[in-house]
Structure 1
Amino acid sequence: MHALAAFEAAARLGGFAPAAEELCVTPSAVSHRIRQLEQQLAMQLFERSSTGVRLTTGGRMYLAQVREAFAALAHSGGRTTAGRVRLRVSAPPTFARQLLMPRLPAFLQDRDDIDLEVHVGNPLLAEVTEPADVAIRWSDGKELSGVVHRLFEDRLGPLAAPTYITAHGLRSVADVAGATLLRSPLLPWGAWLQAAGLPPSEPERGAVFNDLGMLLEAASAGLGVAISPRRLAAAWLDSGRLVPITEVTTVSPLSYYVTCATADQARPEVAEFMDWLREGLAE
């Protein structure tokens, strides 16, 4: 178990030193435990170099099995007192505020047996590092593992505050290209620029935000033009704080996915929550 814990921590944190810090042991102890594990498995788990370590193909496959096993052990005691169960949900902050929280009362209304925990997840990470039975991730879906379902497809387009549009005379696709384009690592401009017939190169200037909600708030404050899926921006559009500049849109290359470990899909509360979320957002 010590070797498995060292392996999982090193894989998740990207090195032996951070794994050692988390486990309160020395880096040499982590290295020794992983070498013991590799000898027992007769398989190399990491490629080692002067710049660090990287999982081998076999290591990535084994990591998925180890995480499923850890999840099964953790959840074997998941039922709390008086027959209640704990359900831990991880979601990116903007999804949690705009799409999940308004719907949660309906889910919990007739489910007195569930103790719900909601954790804010890092939308930039495909891997779930916080405790979670169900995780929502902003992704293209390619790096997600376990049970994975896309929640919905959304259209992508440029949005800005009405005062900003008026002040800068934004009326067409060409006008958008000349405006201040707000940026986010979560949502590049390239897909929409290409759909609009413009060079798909990413803007090199403009403020950068690592949360989609902050991006939309910045646009509504008049800092520039945001690119956003229409459904995610519904609260800003409905209130009039943001308006579309053009009707040219394209399918968002990234979307929200709901996931769980393969070992968890048989848990009734997990399956029920995932089905409820998928059905509600499909409407």
Structure 2
Amino acid sequence: MAIRLPPVHALSAFEAAARHGSFAIAAEELCITPSAFSHRIRLLEEFVGERLFLRDGRSVSLTEFGRRYLDVVRDALRSLADFPLPHRHPLAQPRVKITVPPTFARYLFLPHLADFTALYPDITIEVFLSVPLYDMALSETDLEIRFGAGKYPDTTTEKLFEEPVFPVVSPAYLEKIGGLKTPADLQKAQLLRSALEPWQAWFEVAGLDWPEPATGLRIDDLGLLLEAVRHGYGVALTRKHFAEEMIANGEVVPLFDIQLTTPQHAYYMVYEQSVRERPEVVLFMNWMMERFNMQSMT
């Protein structure tokens, strides 16, 4: 009697969706349209006679039956993948997709990425830029770097390093306004604004009972904010590792020796636990943790 088997293309779609927790990401991985991907999942659900996923907006999660079925499917797919095929073409190059904020990418990530590629030349790294403030959902990449409090629901979060925040100014602007000896002297300066680095928390640490500035130049990119300081537009808050080169070159100078070092001022690596099933991602995350934990000591 013929054995009725589920379609293999539907099984691979099921495994990919379970791994990513997203139909969209899984469809991209398999290079098919979202509608074709959904059709494969429906086909498999009709075959087993059970729902495999619970759908909640853009994310999906396995049903109890789906979790049990996933173990069986993965064992079957692993057996097929591990079977020796002497004439098989080489596997596609392993790759890791990472989403990073623009300024982190410019000042911290890219200067050190060559260290990883030298260690693992066979792993391709694809870098995507996130837009802070506007999209805090885990994007369709393997992991993200985020700056904040480290509390991101339904994700795994690992702290990379803390990043103290303090005000900086250009020497020319400092001379122009007659110097700044105490935090209270900031009342005669133009305070540059950014939603990424509001002043209120620093005011409190500095003993100033001032409201958040509501007027003046606002720039919601920290790299451009530093450039505005360098060009003499005023005083702004910046982060230690972003400004260290400009400080070393004398292009900007830190003020008052008062830093904001709350737990909210740290970089975190954010990802879904399923990506740890891929060795290239684990290698990259381990490198990130080692490299940027060292960063906190510099």
> If the length of structure 1 is used for normalisation, what is the TM-score?
0.70
Matched, 1:248 2:238: no
Instruction: Find the partner of 1:63 among 59, 62, 65.
Output: 59
Larger Rg: 2
Instruction: Find the partner of 1:186 among 187, 196, 199.
Output: 196
Instruction: Find the partner of 2:272 among 250, 255, 261.
Output: 261
Matched, 1:87 2:83: no
Matched, 1:227 2:237: yes
Q: Give me the identity figure in percent.
A: 33
CA distance in 2, matches of 1:64, 1:243: 49
Listed as ranges, the gaps of 5+ residues in structure 1 are 10-22, 25-39, 46-58, 70-75
Instruction: Find the partner of 2:158 among 136, 149, 168.
Output: 149
CA distance in 1, matches of 2:215, 2:181: 21
Listed as ranges, the gaps of 5+ residues in structure 2 are 1-9, 11-16, 24-33, 36-49, 68-77, 82-88
For residue 237 of structure 1, give the secondary structure of its aligned residue in structure 2.
helix
CA distance in 2, matches of 1:91, 1:262: 18
Matched, 1:99 2:95: no
For residue 137 of structure 1, give the secondary structure of its aligned residue in structure 2.
strand
CA distance in 2, matches of 1:172, 1:64: 54
1:83, distance to aligned residue in structure 2 (A)? 5.2
The question of whether the paired residues in 2 share the 8 Å contact of 1:189 and 1:200 is answered with no
The question of whether the paired residues in 1 share the 8 Å contact of 2:202 and 2:259 is answered with yes
The question of whether the paired residues in 2 share the 8 Å contact of 1:155 and 1:251 is answered with yes
Q: Could you tell me which residue of structure 2 aligns to residue 28 of structure 1?
A: none
CA distance in 2, matches of 1:110, 1:156: 32
> If the length of structure 2 is used for normalisation, what is the TM-score?
0.67
CA distance in 1, matches of 2:249, 2:138: 33
Using the TM superposition, name which of 202-211 and 99-108 deviates more: 202-211
For residue 159 of structure 1, give the secondary structure of its aligned residue in structure 2.
strand
1:254, distance to aligned residue in structure 2 (A)? 3.2
1:232, distance to aligned residue in structure 2 (A)? 2.5
1:145, distance to aligned residue in structure 2 (A)? 3.7
CA distance in 2, matches of 1:211, 1:97: 12
Residues 1-283 of structure 1 correspond to what in structure 2 (within 5 A)? 59=56, 63=59, 65=61, 81-82=90-91, 84-124=93-133, 125-129=135-139, 131-168=140-177, 169-252=179-262, 253-283=264-294
**1:114-153 deviation per Cα after TM superposition (whole angstroms, max 9, x unaligned):** 1111111112232133x31121112222235422112111
2:173 aligned partner, one-letter code: Y
1:181, distance to aligned residue in structure 2 (A)? 0.8
Q: Quick one: structure 1 residues 141 and 132, their matched pair in 2 at CA, closer, same or farther if it must change by over 3 Å?
A: same
1:113, distance to aligned residue in structure 2 (A)? 1.7
